[in-house]
Amino acid sequence: MALQEALFSSLKWPLWVTPVLLSIALVVEVAAEEEGGSPPASDPVVEQINRHIRAAWKENGLQPAVRATDAEWCRRVYLDLVGRVPTVAELDAYTAEKSSQKQQLLVDRLLGDEYYSDFSQSWATIWTNALVGRTGGRQRRSLINRSALESFLEESIRNNKSYDQLVLELVDAVGSTDPEAEDFNGAVNFLVEKLDEDAVQATAKTAQIFLGTAVQCTQCHNHPFNEYRQNQFWELNAFFRQTRVERTRDPDQDNRFLARVSDRDFAGEGRELYRDNRSEVFLVERDGKLVDRDAERLNSAPIYYELRNGEVRVAYPVFIDGTSLEEKYSQQGAEFGNSGYLEDVNRRKELGQLLIAAREFDRAIVNRMWAHFFGYGFTKPFDDMGPHNPPSHPELLDELGLSFRAAEFDLRSLMRWIVLSEPYSLSSRITRGNADDEPTVGATPQFSRFYIRQMQAEQLYESLIATTKADETVEQDRRATLRDRWLQQFNTEFGTDDAAEATTFNGSIPQALTLMNGDLVQRACSTGSGSFLDTIANDASLSNREKISYLYRAALARRPTKEETKTYNDLLASRGGEVIGTLQDIWWAVLNSNEFILIH
């Protein structure tokens, strides 16, 4: 590729020579492209992925796509791991790398110290969106301190906290949302707004996010498809009922609230705490001893739910696999495990331990991660797993879950396995051999090519910032606000109790308008002194061709084709050689293209 560049920039060649050499250069480039990608990795888990995926290709008569070019792979791995496109320097360094282990080397760097800031920020955003949605904490009256949650996650990710530990800290978090408070804890922001109305949302979201099980409809009735039942919902819900949220007005900001999540003794629904303030104690003789007749039942804290026919049922903490606290603590008395007293049982701590021990827990995170990197999980959607929705690659899902467990819940290992796997290295081109593998028309994904998908709004923003420093003219301390405001413009809330939301950053017209005429792209296209375009336009070491090539690599991770280069030269000539304006138009067009916004 360097040869082609050299040819374009060289003015020493007589003009008639160029086409001939150019065609040679193109041949060279094609050869280089085919070479793209590294030999298969030796990691046994990566091999495991490849084996299962290949077996399914064979079974389904699919021919996998060829390997993606180095540049294509590099672009997608930057976007998926650190949340932005590679800069030209990063891209060029990767394509020039000669090592046969170049993929591994890059992944190690992206997961290592060099990129910890981009990496942890990107994943903190992804997790924040997963835990409280894109709109959580955005409204003035919200209890969620979004940036505190994001900071907690960022720190956890930077320190490579294991996933089970992270989840425990989120699920049994206590403390204040107020960064000034002594008991401040950013992790409480996950649950702080989900505990109202008997913690229905805490139950539903915990199951959905950490177990990949959609249970929200079973609060009212048995799931129409899922085998999950109404009683299971309320038994899971019972784990959250010692938990309380106190809200107080923020003394520093009008109409803002602070909140504190804490656990308290829970008497059970419609009951009071009796233990030590009974006026009468009934002693009965049991096995020749006088015992407090109500001792055990007194502590048990039931909750009640209503069947559709109006019949009322009772529920105590029972995990989805049928493990009840009653059983677990049966040694300590028949109903000890159902106690609502914290000194007996801390229900959320119990839940945390049951969660991370469950096989659903590892399978759910594997499925979520797979969906992150491939656009589709092993089930559709990735967070509604269960017997009603069998996975496309059940053994792979299961084995990856076990491997993740064996790796002590290390998220970076899981990411590493996935991005180094064969399916992740494939081209996104549709060929006759893989045309049937088309999930957009309802086929079960077989990952025989890389499915193109749109960048998330966050990825677009960070890409433009990394490439053009589009926020450089903004004061440092306002940049975060600017980013938040830009991202928020796409969000819509449904205003329902499940905090459902939608985004207009979905490839429809409002998004297209934002990219065509919006302020971010306008700033990215700035030609002001010291701007990205200004710097390139005035770089005396670059020919016009190289300048255009630079823009292409920055946004699309490729060089312009012959036809494209000719178009630009014509345009430049028609403009009397006015470089910066022409570069601006090219850059605008590139940023508005399908090729830019799609991860491919």
By CB under 8 A, tell whether 307 contacts other proteins.
no
- Distance, first Cα to last Cα, the chain: 20
Tell me how far, at minimum, the Cβ of 509 lies from other proteins, in Å.
Answer: 5
Task: Out of 513, 528, 530, 539, name the contact with other proteins by CB under 8 A.
Answer: 513
Q: Hey, which residues between 179 and 198 contact other proteins (CB under 8 A)?
A: 197
Q: Hey, which residues between 224 and 253 contact other proteins (CB under 8 A)?
A: 224
Q: How far apart are CA 300 and CA 394, in angstroms?
A: 40
Task: Out of 118, 567, 579, 580, name the contact with other proteins by CB under 8 A.
Answer: 567
118 phi and psi angles, rounded to 5 deg: -60, -45
Q: How far apart are CA 384 and CA 373, in angstroms?
A: 18
Q: Are strands 501-503 and 598-599 parallel, antiparallel or unpaired?
A: unpaired
Task: Out of 443, 474, 484, 485, name the contact with other proteins by CB under 8 A.
Answer: 443
By CB under 8 A, tell whether 26 contacts other proteins.
no
Sign of CA dihedral 97, 100, 104, 108: negative
Q: How far apart are CA 78 and CA 118, in angstroms?
A: 10
Give whichever of 376 and 404 is closer to other proteins, judged by the CB atom. Answer: 376
Q: Hey, which residues between 518 and 537 contact other proteins (CB under 8 A)?
A: 518, 522
By CB under 8 A, tell whether 451 contacts other proteins.
yes
Tokens of 565: 């280069």
Q: Hey, which residues between 160 and 179 contact other proteins (CB under 8 A)?
A: none
Q: How far apart are CA 232 and CA 218, in angstroms?
A: 8
Give whichever of 294 and 534 is closer to other proteins, judged by the CB atom. Answer: 534
Tell me how far, at minimum, the Cβ of 224 lies from other proteins, in Å.
Answer: 6
Counting other chains too, the contacts that 567-576 makes at CB distance below 8 Å and 24 or more residues apart are 569/544, 572/544
Q: Hey, which residues between 573 and 592 contact other proteins (CB under 8 A)?
A: 573-574, 581, 585-586, 588-590, 592
Task: Out of 13, 494, 528, 538, name the contact with other proteins by CB under 8 A.
Answer: 494
By CB under 8 A, tell whether 489 contacts other proteins.
yes
405 phi and psi angles, rounded to 5 deg: -60, -45
By CB under 8 A, tell whether 103 contacts other proteins.
no
By CB under 8 A, tell whether 507 contacts other proteins.
yes
By CB under 8 A, tell whether 497 contacts other proteins.
yes
* Biggest CA pair distance of the chain: 113
By CB under 8 A, tell whether 564 contacts other proteins.
yes
By CB under 8 A, tell whether 598 contacts other proteins.
yes
Task: Out of 96, 516, 535, 538, name the contact with other proteins by CB under 8 A.
Answer: 516
Q: Hey, which residues between 380 and 419 contact other proteins (CB under 8 A)?
A: 380-381, 384, 389
Which residues sit opposite 147 in a β-bridge?
A: none
For 245, residues 6+ apart whose C-beta sits below 8 A from its C-beta are 143, 192, 195, 196, 259, 260, 261
- Alpha-carbon 573 to chain mean position: 46
Q: How many helices (H) and strands (E) are present in the chain, helices listed first?
A: 26, 11
By CB under 8 A, tell whether 561 contacts other proteins.
yes
Task: Out of 182, 272, 475, 563, name the contact with other proteins by CB under 8 A.
Answer: 563
Q: Are strands 283-286 and 289-292 parallel, antiparallel or unpaired?
A: antiparallel
Interacting span for other proteins (CB under 8 A) from 102-110, 162-170, 351-359, 373-381:
373-381
Tell me how far, at minimum, the Cβ of 11 lies from other proteins, in Å.
Answer: 21
Interacting span for other proteins (CB under 8 A) from 164-172, 295-303, 359-367, 492-500:
492-500
Task: Out of 430, 542, 579, 580, name the contact with other proteins by CB under 8 A.
Answer: 430
For 387, residues 6+ apart whose C-beta sits below 8 A from its C-beta are 226, 227
Tell me how far, at minimum, the Cβ of 99 lies from other proteins, in Å.
Answer: 28
Tokens of 289: 């001893």
By CB under 8 A, tell whether 452 contacts other proteins.
yes
Give whichever of 27 and 512 is closer to other proteins, judged by the CB atom. Answer: 512
Task: Out of 453, 472, 527, 534, name the contact with other proteins by CB under 8 A.
Answer: 453
Give whichever of 277 and 496 is closer to other proteins, judged by the CB atom. Answer: 496
Q: Hey, which residues between 331 and 370 contact other proteins (CB under 8 A)?
A: none
Q: How far apart are CA 495 and CA 555, in angstroms?
A: 37
By CB under 8 A, tell whether 502 contacts other proteins.
yes
Sign of CA dihedral 328, 334, 337, 342: negative
Q: How far apart are CA 434 and CA 453, in angstroms?
A: 17
Q: Single out the residue of 183, 193, 208, 206 nearest to residue 138, CA to CA.
A: 193
Q: How far apart are CA 91 and CA 104, in angstroms?
A: 15
Amino acid at 154: E
Tokens of 272: 């009071």
259 phi and psi angles, rounded to 5 deg: -145, 155
Interacting span for other proteins (CB under 8 A) from 147-155, 160-168, 361-369, 561-569:
561-569
Residue 413: which H helix or E strand, with range?
helix 411-419
Task: Out of 145, 208, 514, 544, name the contact with other proteins by CB under 8 A.
Answer: 514
Interacting span for other proteins (CB under 8 A) from 39-47, 130-138, 364-372, 564-572:
564-572
Tell me how far, at minimum, the Cβ of 380 lies from other proteins, in Å.
Answer: 4
Tell me how far, at minimum, the Cβ of 578 lies from other proteins, in Å.
Answer: 11
Task: Out of 23, 26, 221, 481, name the contact with other proteins by CB under 8 A.
Answer: 221
Tokens of 392: 């496309």
Sign of CA dihedral 502, 508, 514, 515: positive
